[in-house]
Amino acid sequence: MFLKSISSFFIIWDQAQIFWVFLRPELSVGGWETILNIFGGFWLLTHSEVSFNFGIFLIFSGLIFSIGAFGVAFNRKNILLLMVSIEIMFLGINLVFISGYVFLNLEVSLVYALVNLSIAAAEAAIGFGLLMASFRNRPDITVRGFNRLNG
Amino acid sequence: MMLLNTNEKYLELIVFLVLSCILSIFLLLLSYTLSHKKKNETEKLSAYECGFDPFGNGCSSFEVHFYVVGVLFIIFDLEILFLYPWAIHLGVLGVPGFCGAMSFLGILTVGFIYEWKKGALDWSVSRVDKTGTALLPIKAKRLPPKVEISLFTGLVVLSKKNINVMVYFLSFCFISTLYILVGFVGDIIVILLVALFFLIFSGAEVITLFGRRMTLCYRHWLFTHTLALIAYWVALDPRWGLFGSNDPLFSHEYYLLTDFYTVHIKYYLFLCTGAFLQITAEYLLKYSVAQKINLIEFPLIICFSLFFMLLLVSSFNLFGAYVAIEGLTFSLYILAGMNYNSQNSLEAGMKYFCLGALASGFFLFGVALVFITTKTLDFLELRFLFNIVDELPLLVTFGLIFIFFGFWFKLSIFPCHAWTPDVYEGVLTPVTLFFATVVKLGVFSFLVRTLFFLMGTKVFLFFWVPVFLFVAAGSIVVGGLGALRQTKLKKFIGYTSINQMGYMFIGVSSGDLLGLQASFLYLFFYVITGFTFFAILLYVTDSRTGKDVLFINQLSFFGRQSRNLSFILALALFSMAGLPPLAGFFGKFFLFFSAFKAGNHSLIVLGLVMNVISAFYYLRIVKCLFFEDSSEDLESRGVSYLFCAGHEGFLDPAVLDSTILVFLCVIALQPFMLNACLSHCATLALASSCLSY
């Protein structure tokens, strides 16, 4: 039911041809549909013979990735939240690889997802190590506290 | 239940979910019933007597020590992640698979022991160093930020008692590292040759390690690594004919490629890293004595990053390239936060980590977009796909933009340059040198492979050249104007490197043979000049505080003390500024010439104007060295240079002077010799990346 309502929404959108904004600059209107178009799900829905769920998967994973990226870029409070945002970003990318396995039948993408997961975990481990070493020098984990080198 | 009826294979999953829910609820109830509670809890929730309601979120304070255990769990989760598929397919994999997994577990265990010995898992904040004088304390006072790479550095469990265990660890780790390091080349002769060198030198190292004092150990440790690198260098020399032919050699399921281009680049990477270790040896020894910190992992992590750079240069698959870049970046995070007693270094590490994770996330997202659109990541297939279509698909274009964001971050090019000055300022001075020279060489050579082989001249010329022109112009302007008002030396070097990378991208954006040749030439001259500059800078110390030279105007006293060294420093600066008889002039000349032939006239004008502006701040340092007349307060900010003569150094001051002078005269003052060599390299690069296969 939920998927049906979403898909009908997308079909209406397709008739409006907003997907073409990046291929045809004269149609570019800006705004949030342009941002959504970056993640490419709409483009793939209209321009190739992939299933409908694949496009939705891509949009979803692109949204998760963008949540993580915005979290890294605009977080001004806590470094731990920043690391959580990095993890969210990598998990969103992982979802792309997994959907490549599910919908496109590419076995190698599952291996990529596995390796990617381990790399993201290693990155988090290094980040926590750095953070703890920093915390032992100076017990402060706010992002604003890291400003000794500015100037 | 509906799921159960439709598809019975989810039954196990549901049982698993229910069981985990029951377990977690049970644990929560257990902690709720058994925990100690105070009677009057209403006191805790009420406002304090001053009458204000509490600001902010009261629940947000976390015990940070919790994350020590968190990190441990992450590492063991990784182990499960690798071991689960292995256990399922154990019958297929057989004995080699078993041995591989066991060696993985062994390395993990060794790293865990190392972590434990080092005191990384302690709950307490800090411990007093009992001896206080030990140069290489087995248990460090504070947590080293090297949780992950320490998995591999089991050989650093230094103890005089268990020499047998030590020798075992040494040989094990050397051979495994060696196998990994050279295995991707795919030639058994090279493996054997280098194994021989490695065994000889590690044997010599064990003897010297326990025969002498610890201060000497460190020197021999560095010396061994340098010798091993030279051994690699000799073994990989293209003139020996091992890889003399232009025939590409694929290995590891077409994930890696060895051809003339990669062998050349690897040759220069080995050379640069060996020279780097030798230049920084005295400084690190001095620093670790003065600051009482343990820098014994330093050459090892340098070698790890070298390994990942080699992997990056020969990778022939975008995901393989991502893995190599991530390995390189992890090593660089650890190098940046290496000096874990200094808050500056840790802050630089944190900044580099946060922005670097963002950049590698963008890189990986780009790879994923390319992958789901083209269904392949192999360079040959991608090149074929890119060359048959008239217009790149939208997703591929966005993917490539994301991928180039990752590259620009690593090279500190204009839109992604913001980390550079802060990180260069905060880290140890040798690490600044490494960031500024060797890493750029490795990453840039892979970027060239991506641009000129993967995308091909057609796609590159018609779509990407404006992007690269913009990026080059932006980084020239930002780097040049940023360096103009800097008073701190290392921050100045950071902005300078942004500027120089921008000049190098002029040649790339020409998109032809001449431009590529010119940028390689410029890059090599930049690396050589950087080495010369830092080789002198690393020997200069503030005589009052015993620390590095922080500000530019501190160099004025140095000009009076050592005329020879400051003359060479001035030559290096003139070369960076691009004055005619020196190397930098020829680099810039060829760059502008290639841009002229490609028709990028506005970029030439911009480059020349910014070159005049940048000559101002280079010459300001020269003025500081020779003509600064500030004798009244020389003592207040007096700087003296300090050679490590007390440690029986390899390098006598006089020898050092003459060595650097010869170095500069032979290489930097005679650019045509290098030009012949490097144009050969660049020609072959383009030939191998565009014409063959």
For residue range B596-652, list pLDDT tens digits in order. Answer: 988 888 899 999 999 999 998 898 888 888 876 655 555 555 454 444 333 333 344
Q: Is there a contact between B356 and B439 (Cβ–Cβ < 8 Å)?
A: no
User: Among positive and negative, which fits the CA dihedral B33, B36, B40, B41?
Assistant: negative
Taking only the tens place, the pLDDT of each residue in B660-678 is 555 554 454 444 445 555 5
Residues of B in contact with A106 (CB under 8 A): 371, 375
CA B555/CA B646 separation, integer angstroms: 24
Q: Is there a contact between B206 and B166 (Cβ–Cβ < 8 Å)?
A: yes
In sequence order, the 6+-apart residues with CB closer than 8 A to the CB of A49 are none
Task: Check CB contact of B512 with chain A, cutoff 8 Å.
Answer: no
Q: Is there a contact between B159 and B137 (Cβ–Cβ < 8 Å)?
A: no
Q: For residue B472, is pLDDT > 90? A: yes
Taking only the tens place, the pLDDT of each residue in B548-589 is 778 887 777 676 666 667 777 787 888 888 887 677 787 888
Q: What's the pLDDT score for residue B9?
A: 64
Mean pLDDT in residue range B214-235:
51
Q: Is there a contact between A126 and B353 (Cβ–Cβ < 8 Å)?
A: yes
Q: What is the ipTM of this complex?
A: 0.73
Least confident of A51-65, B259-273, B300-314: B259-273
The H or E element that residue B423 is part of is helix B420-426
- Band (B485; pLDDT cuts 50, 70, 90): confident
Least confident of B22-31, B439-448, B526-535: B526-535
Helices (H), B583-670: 583-598, 601-626, 653-663
Mean pLDDT of chain B: 70
Q: What's the pLDDT score for residue A30?
A: 42
DSSP labels for B15-61?
Answer: HHHHHHHHHHHHHHHHHHHHS---S-THHHHS--TT-PPPPS-GGG-
- Specify the residue for token string 């929404």: A9
Q: What's the pLDDT score for residue B432?
A: 93
B164: helix, strand or coil: helix
Q: What's the pLDDT score for residue B660?
A: 54
This prediction's pTM: 0.76
Q: Is there a contact between A62 and A39 (Cβ–Cβ < 8 Å)?
A: yes
B519: helix, strand or coil: helix
Taking only the tens place, the pLDDT of each residue in B112-137 is 777 777 666 665 544 433 333 333 33
Least confident of A72-81, B113-122, B396-405, B589-598: B113-122
Taking only the tens place, the pLDDT of each residue in B137-166 is 333 333 333 333 333 333 333 333 333 344
The two tokens of residue B7 are: 């598809």
Task: Check CB contact of B351 with chain A, cutoff 8 Å.
Answer: yes
CA A109/CA A61 separation, integer angstroms: 15
- Band (B23; pLDDT cuts 50, 70, 90): very high
Mean pLDDT in residue range B272-299:
70
Residues of A in contact with B348 (CB under 8 A): 149
CA B311/CA B396 separation, integer angstroms: 24
CA B151 vs CA B173, B304, B508, B625: distances in Å: 11, 12, 39, 46
Q: What's the pLDDT score for residue B147?
A: 36
Task: Check CB contact of B361 with chain A, cutoff 8 Å.
Answer: yes
A-chain residue closest to B402, CA distance: A38
Q: For residue A42, is pLDDT > 70? A: no
**10 Å Cβ neighbour count for A138?**
13
Least confident of A139-143, B361-365, B592-596: A139-143
CA B379/CA B254 separation, integer angstroms: 9
Q: Is there a contact between B294 and B140 (Cβ–Cβ < 8 Å)?
A: yes
Least confident of A119-123, A125-129, B259-263: B259-263
Nearest Cβ partner for A89 among B71, B342, B361: B361
C-alpha closest to that of B305 among B277, B340, B283, B341: B277
Helices (H), chain A: 2-16, 32-38, 41-47, 52-74, 79-104, 108-137
Mean pLDDT in residue range B102-116:
75
CA A41/CA A49 separation, integer angstroms: 12
Judge: A128–B67 Cβ closer than 8 Å, yes or no: yes
